[in-house]
């Protein structure tokens, strides 16, 4: 598991590779000291998964640690319904389905498959408006699968010291912007 990529880093890296550095830098501090309201509300919305109190049903896996050997990825499964063979990645609010969200689902999907679970449905869930967004399985969407694999390669080859942000909007929405030496603001 050396150099394993966290499931969440797939989404974070697309936003900005430098955000991963800051997340690790601030990692042991209380979130309230550096996160904004949206991030804190997201953590709150995810609490039932993280503490495995979303459901008491034995057919629902929740918040379990998983590893994907094929891609050397590690993270937690949000929800997997064993009977329905359905994997759900929960987000506080989904306004746009970003590739990073789908890639987190792919990481969870491949991890579940490696440990013997048959996953037939993958979907995103938006907590605030109670909406589900079913996604194609990786085998059904070759373009997204290729983008997923290209992203993993890009993460492994990235040199954060030479990274230059070019999207001002990302800086405007970044919780680490005040501490970042590469901010475009």
pLDDT higher than threshold 80 for residue 76: yes
Is residue 68 pLDDT above 80, yes or no?
A: yes
Domain span holding position 65: 5-175
Q: Is 47 contained in some domain?
A: yes
CATH code for position 15: 3.90.320.10
The total domain count for the chain is 1
The CA distance from 98 to 107, in Å, is 15
Q: Is residue 181 part of a domain?
A: no
Q: Compare 79 and 58 and report the one with higher pLDDT.
A: 79
Decide: 92 and 41 in contact? Cβ < 8 Å: yes
Report the percentage of the chain scoring pLDDT > 70.
83
Q: Is residue 161 part of a domain?
A: yes
Whole-angstrom distance, CA of residue 54 vs CA of residue 146 = 33
Specify the pTM. Answer: 0.83
Neighbouring C-beta atoms of residue 108, cutoff 10 Å: 26
Residue with the two structure tokens 């970044």: 174
pLDDT of residue 54: 56
Q: Is residue 30 part of a domain?
A: yes
The answer to whether position 184 is within a domain reads no
The predicted pLDDT at position 21 comes to 86
Residue 145 maps to a domain: yes
Whether 28 maps to a domain, the answer reads yes
């Amino acid at each position: 598991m050396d150099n394993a990529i966290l499931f969440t880093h797939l989404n974070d890296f697309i936003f900005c590779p430098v955000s991963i550095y800051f997340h690790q830098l601030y990692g042991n501090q209380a979130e309230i000291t550096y996160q904004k309201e949206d991030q804190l509300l997201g953590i709150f919305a995810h609490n039932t998964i993280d503490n495995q109190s979303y459901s008491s049903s034995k057919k629902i896996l929740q918040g379990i640690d998983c590893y994907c050997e094929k891609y050397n990825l590690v993270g937690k499964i949000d929800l997997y319904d064993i009977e329905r063979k359905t994997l759900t990645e929960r987000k506080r609010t989904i306004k746009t389905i970003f590739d990073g969200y789908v890639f987190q689902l792919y990481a969870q999907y491949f991890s579940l498959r490696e440990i013997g679970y048959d996953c037939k449905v993958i979907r995103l869930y938006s907590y605030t408006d109670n909406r589900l967004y079913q996604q194609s399985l990786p085998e059904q969407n070759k373009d997204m699968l290729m983008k997923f694999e290209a992203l993993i390669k890009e993460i492994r080859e990235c040199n954060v010291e030479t990274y230059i942000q070019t999207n001002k909007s990302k800086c405007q929405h970044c919780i680490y912007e005040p501490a970042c030496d590469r901010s475009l603001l």
